[in-house]
Chains A and B, each alone.
Chain A
C-alpha cells in the first residue's frame, strides 16, 4: 500500500512539474495573415491576427508579442474565392517542425469571426496535446531565461523594418500632417488645383451644376460660384496653363443631353471669366511621365462613348487644336490612364481597367502586371444614349463612370486612390471610405511605397500639388438625400 502511495505521489509530482515546465501554457506567437482576394488586405490581416490572438489565449496557450520568446509561431492565410473563404493556419516550432495545421471554411463574411474562433480552438487543442506529450526539459532554467523577455513584452521595441518586410504602420502617412476645410454644402464631385495668389492656393471645385472658385489659406475662402442650368452636368474640372501666362485656366467638361458643351474659364483672383464655350471634347489635364501638366482631350462618339485617340490640346490663336495622339491599350480612355518611364527610359502605361484593377502595359500594349486589389472607384458618371442591345426599361448599359486620376510624379511615384465601401453593386455605387496609395515600378510589378490613413468618406476627386508635396482631396462627408444637398470637405495631406 505504501509502495502504491509512493508511486502515486511521485507520479503526481512529475506530472505537476511537467505541466509547470510550460508554466501550464505554450508560448505562442501569431506572426500574421496573408490575405488573398480581398480589398483591404492590410486592414483585414491585422484584424485577423488580433482576433486569433485573443481567441487563442487561454489555459493551454499564452500568446506573446515577441517571436523571440515563443515556443510556437502561428501563421495563417485568408483566401476568398467568389463568396467562399478559407482560413488556414499552421503552427511551427522554432526548429520548423509543424505541430498543427488547421483550416475553417465559410460562405459569407458573416461567418468570418466565428470561423476565427473555430480555428483558434483547433490550434489550441493541438498545442495543448503537444504540451502534454512533449514537455520541455529543464523547466527551471527555461523559466529563468524567459523571465526577462516576458518582463519586456509590455514596452518592447518593434524592430525597424528591413528587407522585404514592411509593417503597415510604417507605410501609413500620419493623419496629423493634414488640413481639413470647413464643411462645404453639397455633394461635390471634382476638384482641381490652380495657381497661387498672395500665398493662397487656388482651388476649383465642381458640383453637378456648379463651379466654385476658392482660395485656400488658413481657411477655405469662396471667391465666386458659377451655376449652370439643370439640363447640363459638369463632369470634370481640370487646370492647365495653355496660354503660358502663368495663370492656369479652368477646363470644365460639361455634357448636355447627348452632346459635350465643355467650357474654359479664367480666374482673376476675384472672379471667374468664361473664355470658351461649347467645346465638344472630354478634357483632362495630365502630367504624362511626371512631366509638365498638359491638357488632353477625347471626342464623343454618336452613341456617347469615347471616340478616337486621346490627343494633346494646344492653344492656336483664339481657338484650340489637337496634336500628339496617344495610343492606349484596350479599354484605355482619357480618364483612366497615365504613363511613366523606368530608370532605363522605357515607357509604360498604367491604367485602371473596367473592373478597377490597376494594370501596367508596355509601350507596345503588352500587359505586364495587374493588381490583386481594386483601386480607383468613382461615383461620377454620365449617361449616354443606351445601346440597342439592352431593352428600354433596363438602360443599365448606358452609365459611363469617369475613373479616378492616376498621378505620376517627377520621381516616378504612381499615386492612385482607392475607394471602398459597403455598397458597390452594378451601377449603384455608394463608396464610404478611401485611402490614397503610392506605388513605384520595380521592373516587374508596382510596389507599394506608402498609403494614407483610411478616411471614412468617399473620395470624389483629388489633385497632387507637386510643389508642396501635398494631396488635395475632395471628400463627401454626407451624401445628397431626398431633402438635404449633402456636404463635402477639402482635405490636404502631406506626402513628404
Chain B
C-alpha cells in the first residue's frame, strides 16, 4: 500500500509537472452538433424501417412514430496543423426499448440505454513544409457526384490526402470498406461451407479515389475523377438475407469497377447550373457466388439548375442512372446490414418519398433506396420553388417523378410515380428550425396490379412535424 501511495504521489507530481511545463500545448476544443426530432405519419414508412419501401399491399393503415437523433462532433485542435476529429450519434425512437443496450434504443419508458454510436475518429494534419492535408481514420466518405456513387452520410476507414495547386485541389484517398474473416453461419451460396473462417486482409473491398477540382473562375468550377473499387468479397455474410436482385453486384460477387467522372458548375447570368457524367467499366468475375467473367459498362448523369424568380428561387433537376444487364455499380453496405451508402437524393431534387430525404434520421426507407435502384436504374427529375415568406419563414414546394431505366419483367410500365411535396420551415432561433412538411406519391403503372389480390397498391404519403438544431 505504501508503495502504491508513493507511486501515485510521484505520478500526480509528474503529471502536474508535465501539465505546467507545456502551457503552449493547450488544446483548442471545438464542438459541433445536430439534433433532429420528427413526428411522422405514413401509410408505408414505419418506425425504424430502412431500405426500399415494399409497395405491394393496399396499405390503408396509418403508422405514426416519433424519433430523435443527436450528432455530436468534438475536435481537439492542438494547433492550426493538427487536430483529432471525432463524431458520435445517439438515436432513439420514442417508446422503443429501454434498459437494453444497442443503437437506436432507449426510447421506451425508463430510457437508460447505452446507445452511443461512433461515426468519426480521425487525425487531420498538414504535412510540414507542404500544402498537403491528411485525414487518416474513420471519416465521412463522399464522392464529387452528389453521392450517386458513394456518400451523403457514408462513413469509412481510410486515408484522404488533399493539396491545392493553384486554383486546383487534388485529392487522393484510399478506403477499406470491408475486411471479412468468416462466411455466414446460415447462408452461403458459392460452395464454401458456412461458418468458415479465413485470414484478415484477403476478403476485402477497397476504394481508391482520385479527385481534381478546379476553380477556373469565381463563377465556374470543373472537376475530374477516377475511382477504383475492388471487391474481393466472394463470400456471403448473414447481412444478405437471400440471393441478390438480378443485375446487382453485392458481397458474394468478386468484381472491379473503374469509374471515370467529369463534373462542372457555373453561374450563367441569373442561373446557376451544374452537372456530372460518370462512366463505369470493369470486370465482374463472380456474381452471386458463381463465376461470370462479364464486363461492366455503365454510366450515370445529372443536370441541375436554379435561378432567382420573383421573391424566391426556382430549381430543376434531372438524373439518369443506367440499369439492367449493365446496371450502375454504387456502394452499399454489404457485410453488416442492407444499408445504402449512397444518399443520392440531392441529384434527384427535394423529395421526401421517392428517395431518402434530408429529414430522415434513423428511419431511412424510400421508394428508390440506392442510386442503382436495385439494379433497375433511374430516370428521374424534379422542379421546385423555394421562397422566404418572411426573414424567418421559408416555404418550399416540389414536384418530382421517377421511373426505372430498363423495363422489368412483371411490371406494366417503367414509371414508378410522381411525388408532390411541400415544406414550411420557421427559424425560431439561430440554428433552430421547426417545420412541417408532407409528400404524396401518385404511383405509376410499374406497380399496377401488385397490391393485395392483384389490386393496385395505395398511393404512399407521409406528413412530418420536425425540429432541427444545428450548432
Contacts and interface: CB of A to CB of B under 8 A. Distances in A.
Interface of A: 36-37, 77, 79-84, 86, 88, 103, 105, 208-209, 229-231, 233, 256-259, 299-303, 307-308, 330-331, 353-355, 379, 388-396, 425-428, 482
A84 B19 contact: yes
B388 A302 contact: no
A395 B346 CA distance: 14
Contact of B358 (A231, A393, A427): A393
Given A231-B388, A299-B218, A428-B430, A390 B26 contact: no
A103 B16 CA distance: 10
B153 A302 contact: no
Interface of B: 16, 19-20, 22-23, 25-34, 36, 69, 71, 73, 77, 80, 140, 142, 144, 146-147, 151-153, 215, 218-221, 265-267, 272, 308, 311-313, 343, 345-346, 358-361, 387-393, 428-431, 468, 470-471
Given A301-B218, A308-B218, 18 more contacts: A36-B23, A37-B26, A77-B20, A83-B29, A86-B16, A103-B16, A230-B388, A257-B308, A307-B218, A331-B80, A355-B80, A391-B152, A392-B153, A393-B36, A393-B361, A394-B34, A396-B73, A426-B33
A388 B391 contact: no
B215 to A, nearest CB: 6
A303 B313 CA distance: 17
Given A230-B390, A231-B388, A392-B358, A79 B19 contact: yes
Contacts of A427: 32, 431, 470-471
A230 B20 contact: no
7 contacts: A229-B311, A230-B311, A302-B267, A394-B32, A425-B471, A426-B73, A427-B470
Nearest to B147: A388
A307 B218 CA distance: 6
Contact of A355 (B77, B146, B431): B77
Contacts of B220: 302
Contact of A301 (B73, B215, B470): B215
A258 B272 CA distance: 9
Nearest to B274: A302
A80 B26 contact: yes
Given A230-B390, A394-B71, A81 B32 contact: no
B152 A82 contact: no
A394 B265 CA distance: 23
Contact of A396 (B147, B313, B393, B470): B470
Contacts of B36: 393
Contact of A302 (B16, B23, B152, B221): B221
Given A36-B23, A86-B19, A302-B219, A231 B311 contact: yes
Contacts of A77: 20
A300 to B, nearest CB: 7
A388 B311 CA distance: 27
B8 to A, nearest CB: 14
B2 to A, nearest CB: 23
A81 B26 contact: yes
A197 to B, nearest CB: 31
Contact of A391 (B22, B77, B343): B343
A299 B312 CA distance: 23
Nearest to B74: A426
Nearest 10 Cβ contacts at the A-B interface:
A428-B471, A426-B32, A230-B388, A391-B153, A392-B358, A231-B388, A230-B391, A426-B471, A307-B218, A299-B218
A428 B358 contact: no
B470 A394 contact: yes
A301 B214 CA distance: 11
A256 B29 contact: no
Given A231-B311, A392-B343, A37 B23 contact: yes
A299 B30 CA distance: 28
A330 B133 CA distance: 14
**Which of B27, B221, B470 has the most chain A CB atoms inside 10 A of its CB?**
B470
A307 B30 CA distance: 26
A295 B2 CA distance: 71
Which of A81, A233, A303, A395 has the most chain B CB within a 10 Å cutoff?
A81
B19 A81 contact: yes
Contacts of A353: 80
B218 A300 contact: yes
Nearest to A228: B391
Nearest to B144: A388
Nearest to B215: A301
B218 A86 contact: no
A165 B441 CA distance: 75
A83 B31 CA distance: 14
Contact of A389 (B25, B140, B468): B140
Contacts of B73: 396, 426
Contacts of A209: 391
A82 B26 contact: yes
A257 B310 CA distance: 13
Given A208-B391, A300-B218, A355-B28, A388 B23 contact: no
A442 B19 CA distance: 30
User: In the complex, which of the residues B19, B73, B346, B387 has the most CB atoms of chain A within 10 Å of its own CB atom?
Assistant: B19
A259 B32 CA distance: 26
Contacts of B140: 389-391
A233 B391 CA distance: 9
A398 to B, nearest CB: 9
A145 to B, nearest CB: 38
Nearest to B146: A388
A410 to B, nearest CB: 32
A81 B359 CA distance: 38
Nearest to B313: A257
Contacts of A82: 26-27, 29
B400 to A, nearest CB: 16
B236 to A, nearest CB: 29
B55 to A, nearest CB: 24
Contacts of A307: 215, 218
Nearest to A395: B470
A301 to B, nearest CB: 6
A9 to B, nearest CB: 44
A392 B346 contact: yes
Contacts of B31: 425-426
Nearest to A307: B218
A301 B360 CA distance: 30
A88 B21 CA distance: 13
Contacts of B23: 36-37, 79, 81
A389 B152 CA distance: 8
Contacts of B221: 301-303
B339 to A, nearest CB: 14
Nearest to A387: B142
Contacts of B29: 82-83
A331 B80 CA distance: 10
B218 A389 contact: no
A451 B124 CA distance: 37
B215 A231 contact: no
B308 A256 contact: yes
A278 B80 CA distance: 36
A240 to B, nearest CB: 23
A413 to B, nearest CB: 27
A330 B313 CA distance: 34
Residue among A37, A301, A393 with most chain B CB within 10 A: A393
A105 B470 contact: no
A426 B77 CA distance: 13
Contacts of B34: 393-396
B142 A388 contact: yes
Given A209-B391, A230-B390, A427-B431, A302 B218 contact: yes
Contacts of A302: 215, 218-221, 265-267
Contacts of B358: 392-393
Nearest to A429: B430
A81 B27 contact: yes
Contact of A388 (B151, B272, B361): B151
Contacts of A258: 272
Contacts of A379: 430
